[in-house]
Amino acid sequence: MEIAISIRQPWAALIVLGIKDIENRTWEPPARYIGKTISIHAGVQPDRDALEFPRQPIKEAAERLASCCGVSDAYFKHIAYHSPEAFHMGGIVGRAVINSATLNGSISPWASQQPDTWHWHIVVATTSPFAPCKGQLGFFKPTFQEQASVQPKMLRQGSLLD
């Protein structure tokens, strides 16, 4: 049984690329999902606060955020080149394991320092072929659409990788 969690771009891409090791939430993940592989669903809308300007390509926003946390441009470009599916929206873009969760307990540069924030510690993150499906709040069982009839959502004409 596949279980997924929806995360807005560019955060979903940063997680499945193995760059972002913390997912910040206001709630603790259920114990039954700790140590389990969870599918990462990229929502159909990006996190507008993570973009520098409206309709910014997801890859460009992810590269800037990664750079702010010490990831070299060369390393980011290398892994992004080999995993373009990580930047799509509206479906599963990869998988990861939630290793543990702490309340305001992480020193990762990705951890929010807002009070009462749960830091989900992410390990074993990988990209996967894009699989379109609708997201939901919380954990959910994805219902997949036929891939031939669905195109990954793009933020501007052309490709998210522009």
Structure confidence at residue 77 (pLDDT): 94
DSSP structural state of residue 151: P
- Return the amino acid letter for 71: V
d(CA 80, CA 59): 8
- Phi then psi for residue 122, to 5 deg, are -100, 135
Other Cβ atoms within 10 Å of 94 Cβ, number = 24
State pTM to two decimals.
0.86
Please list the rounded mean pLDDT of every run of 10 residues in the chain (162 residues): 92 97 96 96 94 91 94 94 94 96 91 94 95 93 69 46 42
